[in-house]
Amino acid sequence: MKKISILILLMSLGFTSCEDLLTEYNPSGLTAEAAYSTPEGFESLVNAAYGYQRWWYGKEEGYNITEMGTDIWMSAAGDVYPDLTQYINLQGTNGPLASEWSALYAGVNLCNAGINRIANAGYTAGVQKQREAELRFLRAFYYYHIVETWGGVHFTLEETKGIATTANKTPVDEFYRQIIEDLKFATTNLADTTPDYGRVTRPAAMSFLARIYLTRGMNQEASAMAKAVINGGFGYKLMPKYADLWDMAKNKNSEVVYAVNYAENLTLNDLRNSVTNPIGHGRGSNNGHLHFLMKYDNLPGLTRAIEYGRPFNRYMPTRFLLDLYGSADARYEGSFMELWTANSSQRPAGMNIGDTAVVATRTTFTKPAGALYQVYNRNDIYNPDGTVRDNLRYPTLIKHMDNTRASFNEAQSARDVYVIRFAELYLIEAEAQMKLGNLEEAAKNINIIRARAAKPGQEEAMKITADQVTLDFILDERAREFAGEQMRWFDLKRTGKLVERVKKYNPNVTSVQAFHTVRPIPRTQLDAVTNRDEFTQNNGYQ
């Protein structure tokens, strides 16, 4: 690929560790061949291989690709990539796609280098199997994101040394054959637990394999693998309250099967660096907390505050998403904020600190006569057809907010990104069983999730019956459970529902077409290869 060279290996020697619990060894001045012939040096490669996940999870580029252009999110006033988020003349010049292409292939190359060199690393047999299993998981992880995003593009199991000038087009089936093979190796050789939070474990690899099986329509295998994790005695369980998942004091909890973790020491989180993070943008830690927030800090009675976040105002919910949550479902209040209280010295006369200043609500609530606060209700936010009327004020997603940041302008967050939650296993099992025709079993698994989501005393109201289980209901349930968690675009693509549901439920997106189920290959990549007649742009793009 374009200039993915031995530099990638040298980069890893100084790469920050996956988490501050993973000890980093930096054999300064050594060549890659010498460094990776010792266990200490090889640890640098493994830790660096984890690091590339951070360029997708918890980053604006990744949110653009995975949450936007779907049925549940619309562009707010601050959206800077409408070509990607609304499919408006989307082409290979899109910046986030080029950044993620580079990062994902750099991760693959590092994994290939490690897998092919590990026999000479000097590990004991047991440690060698563990580290190879980690690298195989990561290679599968990166290739999954590549093949789902771009389809059958470049594929190799060999380390790239020097400058490669050609690329291949490999069928999607070949990608998935290797992904499944690598994940099977990982599930056989990984440990069940790890003392280094952030490293992959056997149940995490099993869970990801269940997701892969579901993606490939291997429903019996997906069901079996999901049940193996659910019933495997690994110690995972749903958090008692959905809202507790987003409490920074509970950032690491019993529901997290796999997370891309960020260190509390923000200097360890891959800030832009010409060597280790040349494609970064200066916000090296999790920046998801910036993007889903409405513009509140110019409204009467309000000023920017840590607890309300720094509002980049990139994305807002579709009216469809807000209406998915019934009155018995605690996940709405656990996911969205509708009320802001006065915190500014500049307030309307008669308004005190702590009084209600602004309400932005999904309902038709009308401000009482004489009330000092402002109201933005559903009819202020959306037009009758669901298109956006006000792209500045709307219910705000709170899942990514971080009240532990040092200041209200801090763009970095130490919040971990949950890649696989235990809740997903139940919904994988439900979807697989539904597709196998076992609707009672599907409903049983959905009801486990809905029981946790129920408001106190509303458990019966939240239960569903087998005749309610359809693919669209499962997609609705996944939206209620996982909105904003970098899964939605993949869900809609997997189920063949992307175009249908975007057209039906996201009226601000009018340009989506069938070819948008894969993204355009970056123009920089196409221009870099010499076999341009073979390595061509994906259909529909230039």
Is the pLDDT at 273 greater than 80, yes or no? Answer: no
Tell me which residue of 453, 391, 396, 389 sits closest to 421, measured CA to CA.
Answer: 453
Inter-residue contact 91 to 542 (CB < 8 Å): yes
Cα 509–512–515 angle (5° rounding)?
A: 165
Residue 275: is it exposed, middle or buried by C-beta count within 10 angstroms (0-12/13-18/19+)?
exposed
Q: What average pLDDT does the structure give for the chain? A: 92
- In whole angstroms, give the CA distance from residue 266 to residue 415: 11
Task: Mark out the alpha helices in 151-265 (DSSP H runs).
Answer: 172-189, 202-215, 219-230
pLDDT digits (tens, 9 = 90+) for 315-343: 999 999 999 999 999 999 999 999 999 99
Question: CA of 44: how far to CAs of 52, 89, 99, in Å?
Answer: 13, 41, 23
Distance CA(83)–CA(245), nearest Å, equals 32
pLDDT of amino acid 270:
67
Judged against a pLDDT cut of 70, whether residue 207 lies above it is answered with yes
Confidence of residue 164 (pLDDT cuts 50, 70, 90): confident
Residue 29 scores a pLDDT above 70: no
What is the percent of the chain where pLDDT is above 70? 91
Supply the pLDDT for residue 266: 83
- Name residues whose C-beta falls within 8 Å of residue 542's C-beta, 6 or more positions apart in sequence: 91, 92, 520
Asked if 522 and 97 count as a contact pair (C-beta separation under 8 A), the reply is yes
Phi, psi of 301 (to 5 degrees): 90, -5
Distance CA 429, CA 447 (A): 12
Sequence-ordered list of residues with C-beta below 8 angstroms from that of 456, at least 6 positions apart, any chain: none
Q: What is the DSSP annotation of 273-330?
A: BTTTBTT--S--SB-GGGTS----TTSTT---BTTTB-----EEE-HHHHHHS-TTBT
Mean pLDDT of 476-499: 98
- The tokens for 350 are 């008669």
Residue 260 pairs with which residues in a beta bridge? 417
- Give the span between the Cα atoms of 7 and 389, in whole angstroms: 49
CA distance linking residue 43 with residue 45, whole number of Å: 5
User: What's the CA gap between 424 and 391, in Å, rounded?
Assistant: 31
- Supply the pLDDT for residue 36: 83
Q: Please name the amino acid found at residue 127.
A: V
pLDDT for the residue 4: 30
Interatomic CA distance for residues 162 and 6, integer angstroms: 6
Is residue 99 within 8 Å of residue 61, measured between CB atoms?
yes
Using the predicted structure, report yes or no on whether residue 23 has a pLDDT greater than 80: no
Average pLDDT estimate for 116-144: 97
* pLDDT tens track for 411-463: 999 999 999 999 999 999 999 999 999 999 999 999 999 999 999 999 999 99
How many residues are present in the chain?
542
Q: Looking at the DSSP assignment, which residues form a beta bridge with residue 74?
A: 316
Does position 3 have pLDDT exceeding 70, yes or no?
Answer: no
**Residues 194, 202: Cα–Cα separation, whole Å:** 10
Average pLDDT estimate for 265-277:
62
Angle at 134 between CA 133 and CA 135, to 5 degrees: 90
